[in-house]
Amino acid sequence: MLMRNLGRTGLKVSAFCLGTNTFGRMTDQAASDAVLDAFVEGGGNFIDTADVYGRGDSETILGNWLKARGKREAAIVATKVGLPMGEGPNEKGLSRQRIMAGVEASLRRLQTDYIDVYQAHRDDRETPLDETLRGFDDLVGQGKVRYVACSNYVSWRLAEALAQSEHRGRARYESLQPRYNLYYRDEFERELEPLCQERRVGVITYSSLGGGFFSGKYRPGQPLPATPRASGVERDYFNERGWRILEAVERVAKARGATPAQVALAWIVQRPGITAPIASATSPEQLRELLGSVELNLDAEALAQLDQASAWK
């Protein structure tokens, strides 16, 4: 399994990140354990979760697996804080109170005394940025968090956060988690991509398979799959551009003896500055298919076909 540094750190993470938003929602403890076992057996070590996934269920399932398998030191665990966990005013956002309470709850559920990568799930412009960054920096100083990162930040806010951390000598955001795939390219590539490359910020992409659109299970004029994401996929991807990109993905996959999902992920893996795409699986068989994307080397012709079909400028 290809390993890469996370941002400018020396933390080595696998070039495929296992997403766990399905844990507790689509897979129970036993089924989730099987997926995690297959991931580690395939050489993976990077696992992404969040406190809000299943209102803690995902972290709890992952924590049970880490303890039962004795895998805490071998795994790189990334989790998030910031989205609403309750109805109260202090149950959301990135205030110091929310960050401090959130990390303690995540540590309990994960059954560990440290988190490798603690991420701001979404920018909170109602809280002073300095307060958020001080909170994260304190957690690094206390040893409860090794590195901090962010998700869903626009370029100017990420640049401001990096500048403040540098100016004040605080822990900085070492990675960004943006929505990025063959369909949604412009919102990342326009400004965030050059910023991340210039400042050596790692990039961990979510929605890498477009909610399953690039797995090939969606077809124009056919009934939607019975999955929780189907209606959102239909809304976002069922259009001329979406079908054109999917056709190119399937053409490249057929010519190279790969699956559409492997091609869509391999395209992200081979983009400059990408640390790892995040994708989730509900079975060991599906997980092994996705891991094949790391070993799939798309040649110049394949990349050109995909880039042309998905071009945004």
pLDDT digits (tens, 9 = 90+) for 39-54: 999 999 999 999 999 9
Mean predicted confidence (pLDDT) in 194-207: 98
Length of the chain: 313
Rounded Cα gap, residues 113 and 160, in angstroms: 30
DSSP letters along 75-96, please?
Answer: -EEEEEE-S-SSSSTTSSS--H
Cα separation, 249 vs 263, in Å, equals 6
In a domain, 37, yes or no: yes
Strand ranges for 82-188 from DSSP E? 115-120, 145-151, 173-177
pLDDT at 134: 98
Helix residue ranges, H only, 226-299 = 230-237, 240-255, 260-269, 284-295
Q: Is the pLDDT of residue 71 over 80?
A: yes
Q: What is the mean pLDDT of the chain?
A: 96
- pLDDT surpassing 80 at residue 76: yes
Q: What is the torsion angle, in degrees rounded to the nearest 10, for the CA atoms of residue 260, residue 272, residue 17 and residue 96?
A: -140
Over residues 240-259, the pLDDT tens digits come to 999 999 999 999 999 999 99
242 in any annotated domain: no
Task: Check residue 224 and give its pLDDT.
Answer: 83
Specify the 3-state DSSP secondary structure of 169.
coil
How does pLDDT run across 139-184, given as a tens digit for each residue? 999 999 999 999 999 999 999 999 999 999 999 999 999 999 999 9
Told to judge if 206 belongs to the known catalytic residues of this protein, a careful annotator would answer no
> Is the torsion defined by CA of 104, 110, 113, 114 positive or negative?
negative
Residue 179: inside a domain:
yes
Mean pLDDT of the 251-268 span: 97
Task: Check pLDDT > 90 for residue 77.
Answer: yes
CA 58/CA 29 separation, integer angstroms: 9
Q: What CA–CA distances, in Å, run from 120 to 59, 91, 127, 201, 312?
A: 16, 14, 12, 15, 28
How confident is the model at residue 129, as a pLDDT? 97
Q: Which of 250, 241, 107 is nearest to 186 (CA)?
A: 241
User: The domain spanning residue 32 has which CATH number?
Assistant: 3.20.20.100
pLDDT on residue 313:
77
- The total number of structural domains that make up the chain: 1
User: What is the Cα–Cα distance from 70 to 73, expressed in whole angstroms?
Assistant: 8
In a domain, 77, yes or no: yes
Task: Tell me the pLDDT band of 117, cut-offs 50, 70 and 90.
Answer: very high
Query: Residue 228 — pLDDT band, cuts 50, 70, 90?
Result: confident
From 53, 153, 173, 218, active-site residue: 53
The percent of residues in the chain predicted with pLDDT above 70, rounded, is: 100
Give the domain range for residue 171: 3-212+261-298
Average pLDDT over residues 178-201: 98
CB contact at 8 A, 75 and 45? yes
pLDDT at 277 over 90: yes
64 domain residue, yes or no: yes
The mean per-residue pLDDT over the stretch 16-30 comes to: 97
Which structure tokens are listed for 155? 């370029």
User: Is residue 23 situated within a structural domain?
Assistant: yes
Least confident of 11-20, 67-76, 84-93, 164-173: 84-93
On whether residue 234 sits in a domain, the answer given is no
Q: Express as a percent the part of the chain with pLDDT over 90.
A: 92
Angle between helices 240-255 and 260-269 (to 10 degrees): 100
Q: Is residue 311 part of a domain?
A: no
Question: Alpha-carbon Rg of the chain, whole angstroms?
Answer: 19
